[in-house]
Amino acid sequence: MTDDAASAVLDTARLARTAAADLAPLPRSAKDAALLAMADALEARTAEILDANAVDVADGRAEGLSEAMVDRLSLTAARVSDMADGLRQVATLPDPVGEVIRGYTLPNGLEVRQVRVPLGVIGIIYEARPNVTVDAAGLCVKSGNAVLLRGSSSARHSNEALAAILDEAATGAGLPPHTIQLVPGHTRESVKHLMTARGLVDVLIPRGGAGLIETVVRESTVPVIETGVGNCHVYVDAAHPSVEQITEIVLNSKVQRPSVCNAAETLLVHADAAEAVLPVVLLALKEAGVTVHADQRAAEIASVNGVTSIPVTDDDWGSEYLSLDLAVGVVDSLDDAIAHIRRWSTGHTEAILTESQQAAKTFVSHVDSAAVMVNASTRFTDGGQFGFGAEIGISTQKLHARGPMGLPELTSTKFVVTGEGHVRG
Amino acid sequence: MTDDAASAVLDTARLARTAAADLAPLPRSAKDAALLAMADALEARTAEILDANAVDVADGRAEGLSEAMVDRLSLTAARVSDMADGLRQVATLPDPVGEVIRGYTLPNGLEVRQVRVPLGVIGIIYEARPNVTVDAAGLCVKSGNAVLLRGSSSARHSNEALAAILDEAATGAGLPPHTIQLVPGHTRESVKHLMTARGLVDVLIPRGGAGLIETVVRESTVPVIETGVGNCHVYVDAAHPSVEQITEIVLNSKVQRPSVCNAAETLLVHADAAEAVLPVVLLALKEAGVTVHADQRAAEIASVNGVTSIPVTDDDWGSEYLSLDLAVGVVDSLDDAIAHIRRWSTGHTEAILTESQQAAKTFVSHVDSAAVMVNASTRFTDGGQFGFGAEIGISTQKLHARGPMGLPELTSTKFVVTGEGHVRG
């Protein structure tokens, strides 16, 4: 049984490898034509997609999925159209493949060019939302990669319909067959086989909760790009901007969309700023429905304004709440704030709010995270906000890509060296 | 015992992590001063280094190390001076840290800059030669990284002396203590603890034979950059250059330094070129001491010129000989050559010798290797030859770095985003 499951996954990966070899040299025009055909096919076959999705939704309800999860899982004609438009949008983006990163002629006349090439076969492991199936397929096609999709088993029928429609449309438009495939099997075993398909799969990108990402990182022998766990901090410096501006940034960072990785989870305030800042900011947060987990100093200052709080624990400092909760602490110095962040951060995004050029410089150079904001909301760490046009995830590791990943981050490079009979002396 | 070994390695890694945090923001001047102090210290304390090395050499002889291995292990005053000069050379190279890779202002006025930052803590696992201790330490210091060195146990006394002298000199010049450390312990266990020091070590770079690299890749939970295994191919196209030029390039690729990863291991010749090319090239190889492992067609053609050969096997096609052996085959087309290479190559370096622009283009776009040479020797895939000034290894993987790795490849990046109270709408 296990052997069958393993060989099914490996067979799929081998088909992807062959597809990748044929896909890599294709010009942009071929890939864009396929993306447009994929978009049209989604819209033309909406009924089929919605039928498959209805099965997943019914199964989910029967298994007692929460209404929030059912909503994430549910597709409508409008949502299918949005996915199709996403593919059309990717078609308008520049092709990263072929870009010359470096190019020069050596003293001996050898011409050296470092050129972007596709990674090859990309495996994406993700949870719930079926739209990831379409987004990931589109970005991989555009960057010349074959893709192995391993979605949540709760979305299996939706994903099967979507992947089949996309691959059929891509093939019809001239791309190699098996450019877009689902990983067969719905057990944890099939994920394991994907994670050990070294030599067949070039990179795995897990998208989802911390547990999923940790499992993939620990067990995969295929190289992994970690994404998206964000315990993000906002630090208010002694030389702080206006309390109004601080309130606006903290609220935006925490409240605008608390369930995403670039939402703030901890607020640190310099002791010299605490009495001016905390009562106003915490009251505003409270009014926005935020539960405050405060250290003793913050709690005392906030209570002046009638804001109650829960005592903060190490679990809080280490939490990515993804909810309307915020850990709040008072620190005695910029250095203490940096030390706190270095200890507890997941390396996603941290912000400093300061009028001091020196404090901003120190914070930026000492905080070891993918993105550091100066006087701006943590919510800006996002491929769309950064102007990338598309995003496959936000890398929180240091190798290959760090921060929002767009199309260039789905490529590798190759050195092309051209001589006229050159030999090494 | 194992627990003690584990905690010794983890304690060392924690010290490195602290050093890395203090090292990252230091300016180029501080790092260059340290490199020069390290170079001076090596020369001033040559006697100490040679004494330690003599113990390793005596131990090696006692354990029956081959004379070639003893030579690789042996240091002399001249070799110590060369290592010192290597550090001085690294001091002259530009500092990659702080380089702005991308920078732009968004329509909303947010300033986005993507800046090079150190990776943090780099672990290097390597074999025999003690000069790697010095090279790796120098490159890591220059790129602002703390380094954990895990050399061969056969060079333990030499490495201990070198690392102690280097770290003492670096600290004396103002770098954080523990910037340069050896991994404690000489058993395989200590390597294992290094490979699983996730969160403390940012990347592992194994330098050595295929076995070492395979072990690290399979067992490490710390991200790894694979280096250096090269089963490199030279393909002679139907539209080939002069037989003299082919002979010169093939000889250079195979014979100039057969023990290194960018030496050629396989020669493929198009059937239309075989009769003109093979007798001359194989005779020249034979005269240079090369053992030819030929397929039937190549063997027959070569025998015309009195060149004898051994029948080639799949083991040969898959071998990185690192010796004066060459696998030779005749192929019916450029596509067959590409298919052969895709099957057997380790993705290091492949060369095409052709007069045809179309053949060169097809070869370059279809061969999936770190470096592709057109009418040049495979031996050019090298950081020094590419003008990088220094090289930590040659990556044969696709993530992060591919091909020769210089100082920029020892860095990550960070997004620095500066606003004036910006919040997301």
Note the pLDDT of residue B2. Answer: 58
Residue contact B386–A415, C-beta within 8 A: yes
Q: How far is A162 from chain B (nearest CA, A)?
A: 29
| Separation in Å, CA of A217 to nearest CA in chain B | 7
Beta carbons of B417 and A380 less than 8 Å apart: yes
Which of chain B's residues have a Cβ under 8 Å away from the Cβ of A421?
A: 241, 245, 248-249, 375-376
Task: Give, for all 425 residues of chain B, the pLDDT tens digit.
Answer: 457 888 999 999 999 999 999 999 999 999 999 999 999 999 999 999 999 999 999 999 999 998 888 998 999 999 999 999 999 999 999 999 999 999 999 999 999 999 999 999 999 999 868 999 999 999 999 999 999 999 998 999 999 999 999 999 999 999 999 999 999 987 888 889 999 999 899 999 998 888 888 888 888 989 999 887 899 999 999 999 999 999 999 999 999 999 899 999 999 999 999 999 999 999 999 999 999 999 999 999 999 888 999 999 999 999 999 999 999 999 999 999 999 999 999 999 999 999 999 999 999 999 999 999 999 999 999 999 999 988 999 999 999 999 999 999 999 999 999 999 999 99
Tell me the nearest-neighbour CA distance from B366 into chain A, angstroms.
7
pLDDT of residue A1: 46
B417/A373 Cβ within 8 A: yes
Q: What is the pLDDT of residues A337-347, one digit of tens each?
A: 999 999 999 99
Average pLDDT, chain A: 95
Contact B95, B140 (CB under 8 A): no
Amino acid at B359: A
Q: For residue range A256-296, what is the model confidence (pLDDT) as tens digits?
A: 999 899 999 999 999 999 999 999 999 999 999 999 999 99
3-state secondary structure of A351: strand
Instruction: Let me know: does B295 contact B317? Beta carbons within 8 Å.
Output: no
Residue A358 burial (CB count, 10 A): 11
Q: Which residues of B touch A221 (CB under 8 A)?
A: 217-218
CB B230 within 8 A of CB B263: yes
> Which of A225, A398, A423 has its CB closest to that of B249?
A423
Cβ A386–B415 below 8 Å, yes or no? yes
Q: Point out the residue among B203, B377, B413 whose CB comes nearest to the CB of A424.
A: B377
Interchain contact, A424 vs B252, CB within 8 Å:
yes
Count Cα atoms within 13 angstroms, Cβ side, for B186: 9
Chain B residues near residue A422 by CB distance under 8 angstroms: 249, 375-377, 380
Collect all residues with Cβ–Cβ distance below 8 Å to B322 and sequence separation of at least 6.
Answer: B258, B259, B260, B263
- Domains located in chain B, CATH noted: 2-226+401-418 (3.40.605.10), 232-380 (3.40.309.10)
Q: Which of A25, A106, A221 sits opposite B366 (nearest CB)?
A: A25
ipTM over cut 0.90? yes
Q: Do B375 and A217 touch (CB under 8 A)?
A: no
Quickly list H helices, A295-371: 296-303, 314-317, 334-344, 357-366
Chain B residues lying within 8 Å of A198, measured CB to CB:
217-218
The answer to whether B369 contacts A414, with C-beta atoms less than 8 Å apart, is yes
Question: Are the Cβ atoms of A421 and B112 closer than 8 angstroms?
Answer: no
Nearest residue to A369 (alpha-carbon basis) of B122, B416, B276, B155: B416
Cα(B265)–Cα(B38) distance, rounded to whole angstroms? Answer: 39
Rounded Cα distance between A194 and B422, Å, is 42
Angle (nearest 5°) at CA B261 between B130 and B378: 135
| A to B CB pairs, distance under 8 Å | 212
Chain A residue with the nearest C-alpha to that of B248: A423
Partners of residue A373 in chain B, C-beta under 8 Å? 417-419
Say what the pLDDT of residue A130 is. Answer: 92
Question: What pLDDT does B6 receive?
Answer: 87
Closest partner residue to B424 (CB to CB) among A365, A370, A385 is A385
CA distances from B338 to B26, B227, B252, B299, B319 (A): 47, 23, 22, 21, 17
N- to C-terminal Cα separation, chain B: 57
Put simply, the answer to whether B373 touches A417 (Cβ < 8 Å) is yes
Residue A203 with chain B: CB contacts under 8 Å:
398-399
pLDDT at B213: 85
pLDDT over 90 percentage in chain A: 86
pTM (two decimals)? 0.94
A117 to B368: CB separation less than 8 angstroms, yes or no: yes
Q: How many residues does this entry show for chain B?
A: 425
Which of the four pLDDT bands, split at 50, 70 and 90, describes residue A2? Answer: low
Cβ contact A417–B368 (<8 Å): no
